[in-house]
Chain A
Amino acid sequence: EEQLVQSGAEVKKPGESLKISCKASGYRFTTYWIAWVRQMPGKGLEWMGIIYPGDSDTRYSPSFQGQVTISADKSINTVYLQWSSLKASDTAIYYCARHSAYCSGGNCFPAWLDPWGQGTLVTVSS
């Protein structure tokens, strides 16, 4: 079964650092993009960025560029999302999800997201 399993809920104070994880299984980890998606309390879905574990090529949404870092360790089929200094506004559920891809003109691009991890609730409060 293809699945993504995320690390558990976190409670942090503003200014603290954090790294959450997403472990993939059931498919060839290095050949699919993995995305991180934010869902703030009671709100919709926001695509943050992606990583291609095969070569660690990483792309960020302009809204999240410089705010978070996405990385991968292909030896353990795991992708990470990290913050160096959390803010209260980072309180949200963070999902990892695998991108299917479409290819055009010799390049491949992220498409739909399936499957999704179960989500990691990050609470930032003083």
Chain B
Amino acid sequence: DIVMTQSPDSLAVSLGERATINCRSSQSVLHRPTNNNYLAWYQQKPGQPPKMLIYWASTRKSGVPDRFSGSGSGTDFTLTISSLQTEDVAVYYCQQYHTTPPTFGQGTRVEIQ
């Protein structure tokens, strides 16, 4: 199985400041024939199911605020929240779908400083 490792495990950011979450895969999730990275990002707020934010590493789901952006390729990826809002307090997960079984990172908790 591909192992997904996120860093940091938690971070506290001031309102309006940038939050950056990293995700590393144990092997490349880049599909070279299509140049697509098989990676998604999810947000899970307390007491709620996860919600998909980004797929193909950088494609934002319709309706997701544009302060959320995804980047990276191969084995190293980043989710950036450009200006943290109160409603962004959550745990964020990356997930690879290059290989079955799909696997998730351990999660990164984002809080307000």
Taking CB atoms, residues of chain B closer than 8 Å to A115 are 52
Proximity bits, B45-71, A CB within 8 Å = 1, else 0: 000011110010000010000000000
Contacts between chains A and B (CB distance < 8 A), count: 65
A106 on the interface (CB 8 Å rule)?
A: no
Choose from A95, A110, A111 the contact partner of B50 (Cβ within 8 Å): A95
Taking CB atoms, residues of chain B closer than 8 Å to A104 are 31, 33-34
Distance (whole angstroms) from the CB of B21 to the closest CB of chain A? 14
Proximity bits, B20-39, A CB within 8 Å = 1, else 0: 00000000000101101010
Taking CB atoms, residues of chain B closer than 8 Å to A102 are 36, 38, 97
Taking CB atoms, residues of chain A closer than 8 Å to B1 are 61-62
- Considering only CB atoms, which chain B residue lies closest to A116 in the complex? B49
Taking CB atoms, residues of chain A closer than 8 Å to B34 are 104
Give the size range of A's interface with the partner.
Answer: 20 to 34
Given the known interface contacts A100-B55, A112-B40, the answer about A61 and B104 at a Cβ–Cβ threshold of 8 Å is no
A117 on the interface (CB 8 Å rule)?
A: yes
Given the known interface contacts A45-B104, A46-B104, A47-B102, the answer about A111 and B51 at a Cβ–Cβ threshold of 8 Å is no
Q: Could you tell me the distance between the alpha carbons of A113 and B38 in the complex, rounded to whole angstroms?
A: 12
| Chain B residues at the A interface, C-beta cutoff of 8 Å | 1, 31, 33-34, 36, 38, 40, 42, 49-52, 55, 61, 93, 95, 97, 100-107
